Structure 1
């Protein structure tokens, strides 16, 4: 017997019992033993009229909600699996490379376009941004008015210096706030000799040198001495400077320079320490620890990432299978089944996924399956989950990369076929969406029916209340009349007032 039928029968039987109990109040009221219980009687009669339909709607609502939730859980598991196999289905994971350096100060990263190989790299210097510090000034002194032109790397900005900003700190603030600042930051550093204006380039590289020129200087007490010319070093070497006022000369705290290095004896340079153009598909992240060293850079397939991706695929496939098994299970002890027990949609999905994972790739003697890389089905065929032999998988990735690549090729590999199958299941208009749409429509219809039934119950309650309240009043009047006549004329056991002349 279905859950819905059981719920309806139980609700109907309970309603009939309530009617029988409430009916006793009519009998009692008609015999004068008590007042009729109108509220209980009305509630019982209305419930008797609506209990079966109410229970049926509630049971169907619960069933639909449970089924909808089950499809939601299944979709979540399938989406997680699809996300995990994306890099396996398009072949990107199995074509990834890792990069390692034999020493310190060079953190290499391999990306798209990298090719396996080994390179000897000698780092001469790393890229640096220029930093200049002016001569010492009184921090509060007025240096004059005029214009400073700040340029770097072919870009420049003009900074107006007037009576509101002609102290050293005012000049620094004006430079930092310039709307078209070309990439220079200014700060004040105070030492034992006074305050210094410090200019820094925000970009590394030999070409990014700082130049400062002054013009229209009035009331000059130091402003004109802030001029400085920087010259980039040849072939990326360190920059040099010339101050406009040698008596108040600038100092170059750090020179602008390129990173200089050789790759297999070939000279190369980079304006940044994240070197992207030297080796195709490889980024070399250089730091000072690499200077003066000769290191070996090795580019090789990233078996660690590949192992992680394949293991993750197997684990999430197991999550899908476990979810399916739970939704289709049956407990003989409690005689209860999963939310999708016997559901044809669930069966279709289960069989489709199992066929792909168990079938492998290729035909005949050229066919290869997951077992060839250490992934097999659990001993119990009914279970359907995968077991991973990590050692065998690692060996396959190292010694048989072509076989692994074939198993997960982007055309008809396991990942590609699973991706297509899952897309068909979870897409708009797919079998899960179709079922979910129908369930949501049914739930909407049930809500409408419940509203209609509630309105009917309210109407019926009002009708019964009016009828039985009137009946209760009539029976009370009749009982009162009966008692009066008995007192007047007597009854079977009394003489009455008239008979005794009282």
Structure 2
């Protein structure tokens, strides 16, 4: 009779329990593989869309769009001039008669004892009339000039006055400076008890900048002129000589504009590369097939982006500026056609791409349908995958429970069988039958 004493109940129980759950285990493995591939694909898609959206945002800033303008001047040292995308081509002659300056007054021969012996409030007023703003500083408990400057500078109602101490030849001067230049920012002070502040020394007069363009004269409280010429910011640094105006010429920066457009084209083509990879149908080979091949969401996204790019914005289309898509859906630029279109009317490029009614804003709205963190389509897809993962986890727990039950049942059966066979072999050996 065969000897069954070598039976291993644990190995047999494990093999049979594994067989019991094999079908469900394969199903869960397949679902997990598919779900993980879709998770990775959605993450890659979200990253690609976010990167593209970020690039578009950088190209659609207020007054900083696709069009780049260039400024030239007939002389240096008078001003620093920049022109944003909304600036129009033109030449402007400017004469600078005076620069704006901030008001600064000083109180000499100040001492810590003078502050310590003073009481009441020191009122500091910036400006005059209805626009004047005043802070009151209580000097009663102050012990030094340093305490006074801290009380002024740290006052939450300070309208824009900075206090500082100037030390020369053993003497201290309390200097009050307006943070902003211009006649409207003059400083006046009322004296507290025991401290005479009625006769300050003028260190710097409050003045406006004075600019002339032909027969027109303009004044400005600062040396930054950002409303004189639309789209042009002029930071004055010096006055002009008599009859030698500063000539500012604004024109299109063709090279900078092309770089802006190339940034958009590259960002879009990078997005297209990702979409193509994720939706690749493959050649009957599952390994080459994209995780989102045939996905309706992807088809909708691609269709929306293409629809936006074909639309007319500001009576122009991208193709009017030499920007077209090839057979693979990637954008390319015809430099010659672009140069001609910009030369004819550069502002049309901004009208096409920028602003609330431009193509970049329209694209951003389309992308928001997918990227919105609360109700976007990708968020919905991720929620579905999360539910699927929870379902897989639940079924996996049930499968593991089933495995344990089967294993314990088989282990008990085979252990009992082993014991019975061993007892039978012992009995047969007693009768010489073994």
- Whether TM-score is above 0.5 comes out as yes
Q: 1:438 to 1:273 in 2, by over 3 A?
A: same
The question of 1:387 aligning with 2:332 is answered yes
Kindly state the Cα deviation for residue 111 of structure 1 after the two structures are TM-superposed.
5.6
How many pairs are equivalent?
A: 423
Paired residue for 2:214? 264
Q: Which residue of the other structure, out of 133, 144, 149, is the alignment partner of 1:155?
A: 133
The question of 1:255 aligning with 2:208 is answered no
Contact 1:104 1:290 (C-alpha < 8 Å) held by counterparts: no
| Structure 1: gaps (5+ residues) | 1-29, 218-222, 229-242, 244-249, 493-502
Q: Which residue of the other structure, out of 337, 342, 367, is the alignment partner of 1:397?
A: 342
* Superposition TM-score, scaled by structure 2 size: 0.78
Q: 1:200 to 1:417 in 2, by over 3 A?
A: closer
Q: 1:144 to 1:295 in 2, by over 3 A?
A: same
What are the equivalent positions in structure 2 for 1:305-320 lying under 5 Å apart? 306-320=257-271
Paired residue for 1:172? 149
Kindly state the Cα deviation for residue 384 of structure 1 after the two structures are TM-superposed.
3.7
Q: Indicate the SS of the match to 1:298.
A: strand
Distance in 1 (CA, whole Å) between partners of 2:154 and 2:365 is: 55
Q: 1:457 to 1:278 in 2, by over 3 A?
A: same
The question of 1:31 aligning with 2:31 is answered no
Q: Which residue of the other structure, out of 241, 247, 252, is the alignment partner of 1:296?
A: 247
Contact 1:97 1:115 (C-alpha < 8 Å) held by counterparts: no
Q: Which residue of the other structure, out of 144, 167, 178, is the alignment partner of 1:190?
A: 167
Kindly state the Cα deviation for residue 51 of structure 1 after the two structures are TM-superposed.
1.5
The question of 1:336 aligning with 2:325 is answered no
- Structure whose CA Rg is larger: 1
Contact 1:321 1:350 (C-alpha < 8 Å) held by counterparts: no
Deviations 1:252-298 (A, max 9, x none): 22222112222334211111223344334543333x34555732233
**Structure 1 stretch displaced more, 444-453 or 86-95:** 86-95
Deviations 1:333-354 (A, max 9, x none): 9872233374243773586368
The question of 1:273 aligning with 2:218 is answered no
Kindly state the Cα deviation for residue 415 of structure 1 after the two structures are TM-superposed.
5.7
Q: 1:430 to 1:127 in 2, by over 3 A?
A: closer
Paired residue for 1:490? 432
Paired residue for 1:124? 97
Distance in 2 (CA, whole Å) between partners of 1:168 and 1:152 is: 21
Distance in 2 (CA, whole Å) between partners of 1:359 and 1:185 is: 56
Q: 1:335 to 1:437 in 2, by over 3 A?
A: closer
Deviations 1:76-110 (A, max 9, x none): 43444455557989998778674635144533445
Kindly state the Cα deviation for residue 66 of structure 1 after the two structures are TM-superposed.
0.5
Q: 1:371 to 1:111 in 2, by over 3 A?
A: closer
Q: Which residue of the other structure, out of 390, 410, 413, is the alignment partner of 1:464?
A: 410
**Structure 1 stretch displaced more, 79-88 or 251-260:** 79-88
| Structure 2: gaps (5+ residues) | none
RMSD: 4.2
Q: Indicate the SS of the match to 1:260.
A: strand
Paired residue for 2:276? 325
What are the equivalent positions in structure 2 for 1:364-383 lying under 5 Å apart? 373-377=321-325, 381=327, 383=328
Q: 1:115 to 1:357 in 2, by over 3 A?
A: closer
Distance in 1 (CA, whole Å) between partners of 2:108 and 2:325 is: 77
**Structure 1 stretch displaced more, 410-419 or 176-185:** 410-419
What are the equivalent positions in structure 2 for 1:350-365 lying under 5 Å apart? 352=303, 356=307
Contact 1:110 1:283 (C-alpha < 8 Å) held by counterparts: yes
Distance in 2 (CA, whole Å) between partners of 1:330 and 1:345 is: 13
Kindly state the Cα deviation for residue 113 of structure 1 after the two structures are TM-superposed.
6.7
